[in-house]
Amino acid sequence: MHHTPVSSRLRLLFLAVAVALVALVGCNQAGTLTAEPAEPTPPTEKVVVSLPSPTPTQSTATFTAEPTAIPTSTPLPPTNTPTRMTTRTRTPTATRTTAPSPQPTTTATAAATAIPKPTAAPAAPPPPSGSVNYQPEFPPVSPASEPPAFDDHTNPLSGQHVDDAGRVRRRAVLVRYGNDPQARPHAGIAQAELVMEDLMEAYWITRLTAVFLENTPEQVGPLRSARPVNIEMLPAFDGMLVYSGASIGVTQLLAQNHFDLIDERNQNGLFYRSSQKSSPHNLYTNLVAVRERLRAVGWERPSNIRGFTFSDTPPAGQPANRVDIPLPSSSVVAWTWDGPAGVYRRWVQGKPYTDALTGEQVGCANVIVIYAKHWKTDIVEDSLGSRAIGIALKGGERVQIFRDGQVIEGYWWRKDANQLFQFIDQAGNPIPLKPGHSWMQFVPTTYQLGIQ
């Protein structure tokens, strides 16, 4: 038998081992490229949390509260797809209230008692940044006549007869109301001849300024702070303002204009806190006491309020039994026509809006929607850095006046800061208001109302 030398056998053995090692390494390299990742895959739940993918249902829920709107005169509720107006959500502070749930006392139809939320929603135009000052812009027509003057027995804010001339030959008192849900129901607001509603910074809620001339309710409030809109409108009433503080910027502007002011911080003894609501939604005053203070400091005097025109006969318009105003969800508003009472009834967040002094649902002879440019000013209002909104209320723009169950389209016109708005049609002729109390809604020019 032939035997292979030991050295040859060793060489063959080493060669076989080397081949085996090469094959093993090659297999491991191939496995790294095709089978096993270099790092372990994160658990599925971690991927979902760190990289959320919103579903259509989530998107709808997120955007329903504050959608956008496009100008139109179509008297139908809009159906456009909503778009969020601001990326910051502000949550009102929860407060305790012991006020009873208000019940509707309207004679309107039963169908209006369960009013749904409006389908339209708000959007502010792209706001320029800067001063509260602006250049007025006027509509293509101007008033064909001067506003009427009223005798001593006619209320210039309501057009109604007053037996005691002294009740209208005096200063108008403007009261600044908070409008957080915790502040409602408001006290005494149904006695105001005119209420003006404006959007607050961040476009998340509204506040109200009620104008009292003839009536002096013994409780008004809850009171809150002033904003630039009050500086715009105070001269038109030759009035004085009752309010609770203001930012540094607004305080400086109020002082520069030398307005007569009744502020919680400078008129001791006129303000008090109610135990029925939590601060800051519980500050009130008494307008009888305010009138006495005006006389004591020499601020009481007759004022010349002009601008409005009144007539019992309504001008031609389009039917409007209900109007939805797409304000922020915290203060979204609807008005429904109450034919037997001859007024529009106010609803807020789908519920009857009542006066705390009577429990009755507030009704107005006129609902006046003032379209005006809105923008962010340089005035910082809170610790979040939110800036106050400027509203261009001199010049003119579109107006919609709701009275007698119909809407009349036209323009508002205001050249002189010391004069109220004049409402005119396409020919410059006055659009008269119905004698009675009015509610004025200041809204951006982009708003679209739902009208039925």
Segment 333-364, tens digit of pLDDT = 999 999 999 999 999 999 999 999 999 999 99
Q: Which residue has the tokens 């429990």?
A: 359
pLDDT at site 73:
32
State whether residue 412 is helix, strand or coil.
Answer: strand
pLDDT at 267: 82
In DSSP notation, 107-135 reads -S-GGGGGPPPPS-------PPEE-S---
Q: Which residues pair with 324 in a beta bridge?
A: 334, 450
Instruction: Kindly tell me if the per-residue pLDDT of 106 is higher than 90.
Output: no
Q: Which two tokens stand for residue 321?
A: 């039994």
CA 209 – CA 189 distance, rounded (Å): 9
- pLDDT tens readout for residues 261-277: 999 888 878 999 999 99
**What is the reported pLDDT for 129?**
61
Are the beta carbons of 79 and 67 closer than 8 angstroms? no
**What count of Cα atoms within 13 Å lies in the side-chain half-sphere of residue 316?**
3
Q: Which of 110-124, 210-224, 253-267, 299-313 has the lowest mean pLDDT?
A: 110-124
pLDDT of residue 62: 27
pLDDT at position 128, please?
56
The per-residue pLDDT for 118 is 41
Rounded to an integer, the average pLDDT of 142-152 is 95
Four-way CATH pick for 128-451: 3.30.499.10, 3.40.50.300, 2.140.10.10, 3.50.90.10: 3.50.90.10
Per domain, the residue ranges of the chain are 128-451
Selection from 250, 240, 316, 242 nearest residue 284 by Cα: 242
Q: Is the pLDDT of residue 114 over 90?
A: no
Q: Which helix (H) or strand (E) covers residue 345, if one does?
A: strand 343-348
pTM (global) more than 0.85: no
> For 61-90, how does the pLDDT look when each residue is reduced to its tens digit (9 = 90+)?
222 223 333 333 333 333 332 222 333 334
Average confidence (pLDDT) over 367-378: 96
Size of the chain in residues:
452
Average of per-residue pLDDT across 374-399: 95
State the DSSP code for 81.
P
- Helix/strand/coil for 18: helix
